[in-house]
Amino acid sequence: MRIEQVELVRVAMPLVRPFRTSFGVQETRDVLLVHVVTDMGDGWGECASHAEPFYNEEFTESAVMVLRRWLVPAVMALSDPTGDAVAGACKQVKGYRAAKAGLEMAVLDAELRAIGRSFAEHLGGTRTAIDVGVSVGITPTIDELVEQVRGYVSDGYRRVKLKVMPGWDAEPLRAVRSAFPDLPLQVDANAGYEPADVGTVAALDEFDLLMIEQPYPPDELQAHAALAARMHTPICLDESILSVGHAMTALDAGACSIVNIKVGRVGGVLESVRIHDACRERGVPVWCGGMLETGVGRAANVALASLPGFTFAADISASDRYWRRDITEPFQLVGSTIAVPGGPGLGVTVDLSTLNDLGATFETQVDLLR
């Protein structure tokens, strides 16, 4: 395969409702896509970075700069560009895992489309549909939260994740738990608590949660381990886990017993599979997180979540939970599941006219070496 052109595509996509977490509120998604054109056909990838460096250090503008200046030239210089070769070509650049993930996804998509193989098949997926849940943001009032949860439950979602933060935890949880006594519930703090808040966090045991995700800052492995020893509710880490090495270190430390895998946070679908495999070998359950992706990143997430070790429902909701109009054919909820695309590559088609209607910008990368 020969890469003829790489295009960075940016589009501001309004969310159907604002999404508030402990690190801030999002109303519009600053979407960054990578489009590769090869002699064998096209490929698409999504960089799951956000507009601000509030979830982690990376942000979309920084991802664009790093792609332009280092990552795209490194991949264009490969004599035999394949999805497998992207991570090695990008290794000299530290961090910027969402940027790397988007580029790897695009090259792999082109490669797999050319040979008629789906992402799910290539990654080792074993399911044709995946169990999904919905991640519900912090709302202005507790009544609004209960109403949002009611809406999602009536849509068919059978697992709900609530965002929590200091001042928005036991009270909203009590209201949701009493309205839905049997609903599988979990919470995500996005690192909003400090180890000194251990009493507040440990008190969430009373709500019969599937897990509590990332209560403390990413580097606080020991504090997470101390919390795990004190709580019945399993601890899951998201922001702390950047690679298979991080996952093994966290598990060895007793900092978590469940791992959230996100393609953009760990640098790509292939590192995601390595984390899945290593956790599976240790009998540790994993599940697929989301970053409010368009249909492009969502397709990769769904394929990944079809692997056998993904035993908890994914944070991969149907397209209409995020967008009035997605840039690919929408992912639909069937019961509380989403079907795994079976077509070549990501198995979705990017709608250029939708991208244009949304005001997308297209920037072609010049190959300085050629």
Q: Does 238 bind Mg ion (CB under 5 A)?
A: yes
User: Looking only at residues 50 through 69 of this chain, which bind ligand OSB when binding is defined by CB under 6 A?
Assistant: 55
Residue identified by tokens 């991802």 is 63
Q: Does 135 bind ligand OSB (CB under 6 A)?
A: yes
CB 211 within 8 Å of CB 204: no
Least Cβ distance, residue 210 to ligand OSB (angstroms): 14
User: Looking only at residues 163 through 222 of this chain, which bind Mg ion when binding is defined by CB under 5 A?
Assistant: 188, 213
Considering beta carbons, is residue 172 or 289 the nearer one to ligand OSB? 289
**Taking contact as CB under 5 A, which single stretch among the options 136-144, 163-171, 202-210, 237-245 is the one that binds Mg ion?**
237-245
CB 52 within 8 Å of CB 303: no
Least Cβ distance, residue 115 to ligand OSB (angstroms): 30
Of 42, 188, 197, 220, the one binding ligand OSB (CB under 6 A) is: 188
Binding mask 74-93 for Mg ion (x = CB under 5 A): --------------------
User: Looking only at residues 273 through 312 of this chain, which bind ligand OSB when binding is defined by CB under 6 A?
Assistant: 289-292
Phi, psi for residue 266 in degrees, rounded to 5: -105, 0
Least Cβ distance, residue 161 to Mg ion (angstroms): 8
**Cα–Cα distances in Å, from 132 out to 180, 188, 210, 236, 298?**
18, 16, 14, 17, 12
Task: Spell out the long-range contacts of 47-52 with Cβ–Cβ below 8 A and sequence spacing 24 or more.
Answer: 47/98, 47/99, 47/101, 47/102, 47/103, 47/264, 48/98, 48/101, 48/102, 48/262, 48/263, 48/264, 48/265, 48/291, 48/293, 48/297, 49/98, 49/99, 49/264, 50/26, 50/291, 51/26, 52/24
Considering beta carbons, is residue 5 or 62 the nearer one to ligand OSB? 62
User: Looking only at residues 315 through 334 of this chain, which bind ligand OSB when binding is defined by CB under 6 A?
Assistant: 315, 317
Q: Does 99 bind ligand OSB (CB under 6 A)?
A: no
Residue nearest to Mg ion (CB): 238
- Strand 41-47 to 24-38 pairing: antiparallel
Amino acid identity for residue 329 in this structure: E
Which one of Mg ion, ligand OSB, none interacts with residue 268, CB within 5 to 8 A by kind?
Answer: none
Considering beta carbons, is residue 122 or 298 the nearer one to ligand OSB? 298
Residue 161 appears among annotated catalytic residues = no
Residue 262 appears among annotated catalytic residues = yes
Amino acid identity for residue 182 in this structure: D
As a whole number of angstroms, the distance between CA 121 and CA 123 comes to 6
**Cα–Cα distances in Å, from 58 out to 46, 62, 191, 312?**
14, 7, 16, 27
Catalytic positions: 163, 262
Q: What residues line the site for Mg ion (CB under 5 A)?
A: 188, 213, 238
Q: What residues line the site for ligand OSB (CB under 6 A)?
A: 55, 135, 188, 190, 238, 289-292, 315, 317
